[in-house]
């Protein structure tokens, strides 16, 4: 009992005082029904469609257009039929149900209509919208959660802009849709996620800001513009990385900036303001520098904290839209000290190292025990990987957030931070620091139990040297991407590709104990949400030394 009390205390003590108030209010009001239809005021056009973001093949390949036309939707590797009361599909995960209510799967319909000019795509869009309005008319359920409203409104405005005149001419449906969206927009203002803050609150602000412009409510617009600017200063670190330190959420927030900047530019033109720069371009430049520097050459979104490839827009889409819409070209950098991310590059090799805090103190829900972990890619394809995320609900959630799921060191069998539940953190690591130089990176942290851990990586002359200083019994983990396998060879461990070609070999110190894990629930890899593959994991155990411990990876 006392351990449980301590865990809750350690979790709650980091929250802002305001979060306690809004947590209580949220509990008291969560069962109140929303007003689901209101007469919308006169609207003005909202320019959000972006060819790079919404018509790019790398994005559209996520969706099966024919399946959507037939009334079935696949999201996060789960398929189901939207419909029924509150669109609740009990045999699907909660995350899938949430994603269903975003209505993002309508964007491919708008893209297909723009490409082929066939009315069946518009008619399918209209059918889904009317079905959602009718089935969610009770004003309860996931569809009226503030986060799903925030994403759904934005996705609907994107589609409306993409569809253009055919929607404008369909006056009856256009008014019906606007009436529903206005009710959602008004309900959202009463349910801002001030108890959570972080990316959820940012999505709330973005949606209300766009809605205030769309529904021409100037007082609401000015109020939320101030809140939006304040949250930018709070959530975007000086080095350009989003403060939750997840490249997936970083890309989502970067897209949000692009949508808002595009809308502001169009409104400036309407008001005959000549100012071309909205003030967001400087932030977008820094964010673009960060995501391109960290992701390019890795083969996918880096898997630090909650991340996966099939939620945010792909990097190629963001790069194309940034250049096309805002003339922003990313600048490559090696270090992002505020977030704690550092890069090393060699001939055909790219390494990303994490020496940052787990997350913002008051918003750690997407944090993992990945301190001093690294990912390494070869010729643009992942080689050594963190386990990823895969899901938010289920038995594997605790594993994906654990220290052992990352390429780092477990000391005395203890976690770096006390991650529990789906999105909670109690005691947590502190004093995370990092730095880098020509061919090296290093970092240090103090675990939640007070153990000081240090790591230095040097990439040079065809090898990676990993120096660890860890008191007590230390266990280092090395997770291989699915297309590679381990093989013992004398005192070394070889890394082979599928053809049996040696890629590299791992050399350890005398007395180290090694074990190769080839299967089991604890040895899976999730590069995308809903996609989990078995992988091989090398475990190396040694007794901590004051002089440090060295593992060497020699490249073939």
Q: Is 213 left (phi over 0), alpha (psi -120 to 50) or beta?
A: alpha
| Confidence tier at 267 by pLDDT (50, 70, 90) | confident
The answer on pLDDT for 371 being more than 60 is: yes
Average pLDDT over residues 189-201: 97
The answer on pLDDT for 546 being more than 80 is: no
Q: How far apart are CA 406 and CA 390, in angstroms?
A: 14
Is there a contact between 172 and 63 (Cβ–Cβ < 8 Å)? no
pLDDT of residue 506: 97
| Confidence tier at 29 by pLDDT (50, 70, 90) | confident
The answer on pLDDT for 312 being more than 60 is: yes
Read off the pLDDT of residues 56-89 as tens digits, 9 standing for 90 and up. 999 999 999 999 999 999 999 999 999 999 999 9
Q: How far apart are CA 388 and CA 343, in angstroms?
A: 19
The answer on pLDDT for 545 being more than 80 is: no
The answer on pLDDT for 520 being more than 90 is: no
pTM: 0.96
pLDDT of residue 544: 79
Whole-number average pLDDT of the chain: 95
| Confidence tier at 278 by pLDDT (50, 70, 90) | low
Q: How far apart are CA 173 and CA 167, in angstroms?
A: 8
The answer on pLDDT for 246 being more than 70 is: yes
| Confidence tier at 436 by pLDDT (50, 70, 90) | very high
Q: How far apart are CA 79 and CA 343, in angstroms?
A: 38
pLDDT of residue 279: 82
Indicate the angle between helix axes 281-295 and 315-326, nearest 10 degrees.
150
Give the burial class of 84: count Cβ atoms within 10 A of its Cβ; 0-12 exposed, 13-18 middle, 19 or more buried: exposed
Structure tokens at 438: 């020509």
- Report CA 543 to chain centroid distance, whole Å: 36
How many beta carbons lie within 10 A of that of residue 13, not counting itself? Answer: 9
Portion of the chain with pLDDT greater than 70, in percent: 99
Indicate the angle between helix axes 247-270 and 198-214, nearest 10 degrees.
20
Question: How far is residue 8 from each of residues 194, 401, 420, measured CA to CA in Å?
Answer: 20, 18, 10
Portion of the chain with pLDDT greater than 90, in percent: 92
Average pLDDT over residues 192-210: 97
Is there a contact between 152 and 198 (Cβ–Cβ < 8 Å)? no
pLDDT of residue 483: 96
Average pLDDT over residues 134-153: 97
For each of the domains in the chain, give its residue range(s) and CATH number, in order of start. 42-195 (no CATH), 335-555 (2.70.98.70)
Indicate the angle between helix axes 198-214 and 218-235, nearest 10 degrees.
150
Which one, of 497, 545, 487, lies nearest residue 518 by Cα?
487
Q: Is 550 left (phi over 0), alpha (psi -120 to 50) or beta?
A: beta
Is there a contact between 253 and 242 (Cβ–Cβ < 8 Å)? yes
What phi and psi, each to the nearest 5 degrees, are found at residue 368? -120, 165
| Confidence tier at 422 by pLDDT (50, 70, 90) | very high
Query: What is the 3 state secondary structure string of 245-267?
Result: CCHHHHHHHHHHHHHHHHHHHHH
Average pLDDT over residues 452-457: 97
Which one, of 480, 357, 503, lies nearest residue 425 by Cα?
357
How does DSSP classify residue 438?
A: T
pLDDT of residue 268: 79
Q: How far apart are CA 404 and CA 411, in angstroms?
A: 10
- Across 86-113, b (16+ Cβ under 10 Å) vs e yields bbbbeebbebbbbbbbbbbbbbbbbbbb
pLDDT of residue 44: 94
pLDDT of residue 277: 59
Is there a contact between 201 and 192 (Cβ–Cβ < 8 Å)? yes
Read off the pLDDT of residues 147-187 as tens digits, 9 standing for 90 and up. 999 999 999 999 999 999 999 999 999 999 999 999 999 99
pLDDT of residue 556: 78
The answer on pLDDT for 350 being more than 80 is: yes
């Amino acid at each position: 009992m006392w351990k449980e009390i301590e865990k809750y205390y350690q979790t709650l003590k980091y929250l802002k005082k305001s979060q306690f108030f809004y947590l209580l209010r949220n509990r008291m009001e969560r069962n109140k029904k929303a007003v689901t239809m209101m007469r919308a005021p006169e609207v003005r056009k909202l320019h959000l469609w972006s060819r790079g973001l919404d018509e790019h093949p790398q994005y559209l390949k996520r969706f099966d257009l024919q399946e959507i036309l037939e009334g079935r939707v696949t999201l996060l590797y789960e398929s189901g039929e939207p419909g029924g009361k509150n669109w609740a599909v009990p045999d699907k995960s909660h995350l899938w149900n949430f994603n269903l209510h975003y209505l993002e799967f309508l964007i491919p319909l708008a893209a297909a209509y723009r490409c082929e000019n066939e009315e069946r795509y518009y008619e399918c869009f209209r059918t889904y919208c009317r079905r959602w309005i009718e089935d969610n008319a009770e004003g309860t359920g996931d569809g009226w959660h503030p986060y799903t409203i925030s994403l759904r409104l934005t996705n609907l405005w994107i589609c409306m802009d993409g569809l253009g005149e055919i929607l404008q001419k369909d006056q009856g449906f256009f008014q019906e849709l606007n009436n529903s969206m206005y009710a959602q927009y008004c309900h959202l203002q009463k349910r801002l996620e001030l108890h959570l803050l972080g990316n959820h609150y940012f999505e709330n602000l973005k949606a209300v800001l766009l809605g205030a412009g769309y529904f021409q409510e100037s007082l609401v617009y000015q109020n939320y513009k101030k809140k939006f600017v304040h949250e930018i200063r709070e959530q975007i670190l000086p080095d350009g990385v989003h403060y939750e330190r997840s490249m997936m959420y970083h890309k989502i927030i970067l897209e949000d900036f692009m949508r808002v900047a595009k809308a502001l530019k169009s409104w400036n033109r309407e008001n005959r303001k000549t100012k071309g720069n909205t003030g967001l371009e400087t932030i977008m430049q820094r964010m673009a520098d960060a995501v391109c520097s960290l992701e390019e050459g890795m083969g996918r979104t880096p898997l630090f904290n909650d991340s996966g490839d099939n939620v945010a827009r792909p990097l190629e889409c963001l790069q194309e839209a940034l250049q096309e819409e805002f003339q922003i070209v990313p600048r490559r950098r090696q270090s992002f000290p505020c977030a704690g991310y550092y890069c090393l590059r060699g001939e055909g090799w790219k390494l990303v190292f994490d020496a940052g805090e787990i997350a913002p103190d008051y918003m750690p829900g997407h944090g993992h025990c990945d301190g001093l972990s690294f990912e390494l890619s070869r010729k643009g394809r992942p080689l050594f990987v963190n386990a990823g995320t895969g899901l938010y609900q289920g038995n594997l959630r605790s594993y994906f957030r654990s220290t052992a799921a990352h390429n780092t060191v477990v000391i005395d069998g203890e976690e770096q931070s006390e991650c529990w539940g789906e999105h909670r953190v109690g005691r947590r690591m502190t004093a995370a620091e990092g730095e880098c130089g020509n061919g090296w990176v290093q970092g240090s942290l103090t675990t939640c139990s007070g153990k000081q851990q240090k790591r230095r990586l040097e990439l040079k002359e065809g090898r990676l040297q990993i120096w660890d200083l860890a008191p007590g019994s230390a266990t280092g983990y090395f997770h291989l991407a699915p297309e590679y396998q381990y093989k013992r060879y004398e005192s070394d461990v070889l890394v082979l590709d599928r053809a049996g070609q040696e890629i590299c070999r791992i050399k350890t110190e005398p007395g180290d104990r090694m074990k190769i894990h080839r299967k089991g629930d604890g040895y899976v890899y999730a590069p995308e949400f809903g996609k989990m593959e078995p992988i091989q994991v090398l475990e190396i155990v040694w007794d901590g030394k004051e002089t440090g411990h060295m593992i060497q990876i020699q490249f073939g």
